[in-house]
Amino acid sequence: MRYLFFLRHAVSLVIFDDLELNPNNSLSKGLVIIPTYNEKENIERIIRRVYSLSEPFHILVVDDGSPDGTADIVKSLQTEFPEQLFILERKGKQGLGTAYLKGFEWGLARDYEFFFEMDADFSHNPDDLVRLYQCSVKENKDVVVGSRYIKGVNVVNWPMSRVLLSYFASRYVRVILGIPVEDTTAGFMCYRRKVLETINFKKIKFVGYAFQIEMKYVAYKMGFSIMEIPVIFTDRTLGKSKMSQNIIREAVFGVLQLKMRNILRRYK
């Protein structure tokens, strides 16, 4: 009996060491959600980059019927990463917000503890996923924001007009909503599971950049802790930007709607 005990103990140590040494093992607490629409130039590179990191992240691609074959590229990579790479395919462009909500629901139905939002176009540096994760764990924060504005303005390859629009939009949101976040429109995020389990997704109304504002605001109003870490945002070099006037309009007027919902206590 004593021999069997030590044998089992030794086997368990070998398994544990293998999981620690292999960053692409099938066990992961973190799910990286990447919404896509026509990202064939970027999607394979971003997936391989995430899987090269020191932390064992899983990836869920939520593709809105990309006519350029983005989903086909992801599915071909699933043969190489069968237990780490997943895809949800939707018909037509349904919005960034709904893509993330579908991704959250998919991950909550499984055992993930940390949920990450990240763009496919390398505007978010995949290396910073590790920093977001470590900040959440070491600082015990419920929401971690990859912030362009917590230390100056860290944006590369944007025209000055867009930098100013983004910066002052975040200031506008901070003033109107009173939320203690410098980069309120940031889309590079880490949420702990308990945050997403608490938020009523049916009450989340916005689908564009205002979605990012709304999620931070609701998390803040529900008492979850939020921390920003500085990141460098680099504009895409491949593919086409999804920015539109409707997205900007939704963000501007959506803030006023969120303020009214807070007055009426409808954010819960």
**What are the boundaries of each domain within the chain?**
2-263
If one looks up domain 2-263 in CATH, what number appears?
3.90.550.10
The token pair that represents 88 in the structure block: 């949800």
Give Cα separations from 39 to 28, 95, 245 (angstroms): 25, 15, 21
Q: What is the mean pLDDT of residues 158-183?
A: 82
Question: Position of tokens 């909500």?
Answer: 101
Rounded to whole angstroms, what are the CA distances from 199 to 69, 153, 155, 224? 34, 30, 30, 11
Q: Which residue has the higher pLDDT, 248 or 169?
A: 169
Q: What is the pTM for the complete model shown?
A: 0.82
Task: Answer yes or no: are the C-beta atoms of 187 and 193 closer than 8 Å.
Answer: no
pLDDT confidence of residue 2: 39
Q: Could you tell me the two tokens for 227?
A: 């921390």
Collapsing DSSP to helix, strand or coil, 190 comes out as: strand
Question: What value does the mean pLDDT take over residues 49-67?
Answer: 97
| pLDDT: which is higher, 190 or 169 | 190
The pLDDT of 43-66, averaged and rounded, is 97
- Report which of 39, 36, 82 is spatially closest to residue 62, judged by C-alpha positions: 36
DSSP state of 192: E
Q: What's the order of all strands across the beta sheet hosting 85-89?
A: 85-89, 58-63, 30-36, 114-117, 189-192, 143-147, 226-230
Torsion angles phi and psi, residue 75, rounded to 5: -65, -30
What pLDDT does residue 10 have?
Answer: 38
Could you tell me the pLDDT band of residue 20, with boundaries at 50, 70 and 90? very low
Tokens of 182: 């410098």
Q: For residue 151, is pLDDT > 50?
A: yes
| Separation of alpha carbons 179 and 185, rounded Å | 12
How many CB atoms neighbour CB 224 within 10 A?
A: 18
State the distance between the two ends of the chain, measured CA to CA, in whole angstroms: 56
